[in-house]
Amino acid sequence: MNLAYDGLAAALAFITALLLRFDFNIPAEFSHLKIYTIIYTILSIVVFGYFKLHRGLWRYTSSRELVKIVEAITVSLMIMSVIMFLINRMENFPRSVFLILPLLHIAITAGPRISARLIREKLQAIKAGSHNEIKHALLIGAGNNADSFLREMNRQTNNDYKIHGFLDNDKNKQGREIQGISVLGNIQNSSDIIENFAKKNIKIDTLILAEDVLSSMEEILNIAKNKNLVIKRIPSISSLQEGESATSLKPIAIEDLLGRDSVSLDYKKIETLIAGKKVLVTGAGGSIGSEMCRQIAKRNPKNLYILENSELALYKIDMELRNKYPDLKIQSLMADVQDKSTLDNLLKCFPVDIIFHAAAYKHVPMVECNPISGICNNLFGTKIVADLARKHNVGRMVIISTDKAVNPTNVMGATKRAAEMYCQNLPTDKTKFITVRFGNVLGSTGSVIPLFTKQIKERTAVTVTHKDATRYFMTIPEAAQLTLQAGAMGKGSEIFMLDMGKPIKIYSMAEEMIKLSGLEPHIDIPIKEIGLRPGEKLYEELWYDGEDMNQTEGDKIFLVKSTKLKLDKLVKKMEKLYTLCQKHESFGAVKQLKDIVVEYSPSKTSPYSELTKNNVIKIKN
């Protein structure tokens, strides 16, 4: 059926082109042109069949199919001109027809297809509109994200939103249009703009964030509250899940309020680090470890080995990676970093080029109550991996540390600092050891965000440890990306610190999360102080007083210069610590840990607070 119409369209286009050329009065001496019409018609049917245009359903015609139509007509004209030249060198044929013919042929062929598509979309829109309540929205930010969002909306037939305009603080955009939609004003004038729509019986009920407007977020939240508006955001391309598009709007999340600029990465350097390499990630099922696996998987490693001691966590990340990267060679290894013989055998069977060591116990109160487990996993587990990396000639090992390793007040922080010290002072003749230190990540296991979310959902009191407690935060993907970049930059024995931005008050974060849920802090949901937990401190730090901080060529990455230690003395102290751990002497082990990490000063809430003897620790912000 389609080919029959395409043949008819070709004949009609050819005849119409001739008629237009001769002002609808073809002279008798050009009667031979009837043969050319037949040839062009048959030729077009063959070419259109070759391009498989007869298989398309008109009501689903896309821009790709329109391009194929233009290509098919171009090929038909080229072959036709060759045939005519071979027959009679194109004598007695008006060449201007070849200027008119393609335009007519495209219009006659594509017109009905486009019309069928538009009619279908219109009918679906009418049908959808009868079932769905249309939401009236303003887009905040008139940039590339907004343009992509509108284009995607125009391609879809079932949209819940009608966009009435843009709000943008850029004066150069005021009064301009994007896809026929005007920039109505800035964010400060949004209340007046919304009221003007109300006078026209149009109730704006949604604000859609298309750009980062962190400096105006507080104002936007207040406007939304006063006008009873819902705030949504256009998702970034990197955050889209399978089956989602730019129109899959997301609710505002706490990370949108962090005030952090986007990360600028040296992708070439990261690709050089990962592409074609055999990479091992320990703790691959954890929050950071699993994100490291995702970031590494998309950069074409030769092999990705994922090591995890939790069967369920290993299964989850294994399934995710295999579904998303079916061609990637993945080997899942269920093992504990404390099991030296198993790790030794694994590295013998699966040689690796790079190790990203993310395995650790990170929950401060839990490790405080189980110090032997924390010491064995965080310190001696790291030591085992590092020693085996040297034994098996692994080129590079990146150790993921924490801001809690700085002037630690808990066992977890002290174990991570001791691990830093050991790896930093190892020889770099076989393996380059690079440590990356950063603070809390949003949404990680044991972080306050999932706890607050659960409490808000259940309408119970949101619990914070202390009204003045502050923490540094970044998103999990940002931490993983910067860790890769730091790992690529390192030459060995360095400690890199990620720029965590400004510290955030946990109490203020709780208030903002309640507001984002459409509720009023202290009225709908109370906020309750429960006191600092064992080992916690009010303020986190990122470097010691004696450490020099230098900016690197990497965005948001600093180089921490620490004093080198004598490895043999450090090892002797660690051997003594290991013996105490084997005897399960918790207090003695923590005391020996303090002898290794002299800056370790157990907090007043710690069970080991009596170990602190007039230690004065200066807090930096």
**Annotated active-site positions, please?**
404
Residues in the chain: 621
Helix ranges (H only) for 22-96 are 33-50, 63-88
Distance CA 249, CA 206 (A): 11
Select from 360, 277, 354, 291 the least CA-distant residue to 320.
Answer: 291
Distance CA 141, CA 256 (A): 15
Report the 10 Å Cβ neighbour count for 176.
Answer: 13
Select from 542, 451, 455, 454 the least CA-distant residue to 499.
Answer: 542
Distance CA 373, CA 361 (A): 8
Distance CA 252, CA 249 (A): 9
What is the DSSP code (8-state) at residue 214?
G
Residue 306 β-bridge partners: 281, 332
Select from 576, 597, 601, 599 the least CA-distant residue to 588.
Answer: 576
**Token match 């800056």: residue?**
599
Beta strand residue intervals within 268-351, DSSP E: 278-282, 303-308, 330-334
Distance CA 509, CA 45 (A): 67
State the helix-helix crossing angle for 340-349 and 381-391, rounded to 10 degrees: 30
Q: Of all helices (H) and strands (E), which one includes residue 140? A: strand 135-140
CB 511 within 8 A of CB 451: no
Residue type, 194: I
CB burial class (10 A; 0-12, 13-18, 19+) of residue 492? middle
Task: Say which residues have a Cβ less than 8 Å from residue 8's Cβ, sequence separation at least 6.
Answer: none
Residue type, 445: T
Query: Which of helix, strand or coil describes residue 592?
Result: helix
* Span between the terminal Cα atoms of the chain, in Å: 74
CA angle 413, 415, 419 (to 5 degrees): 115
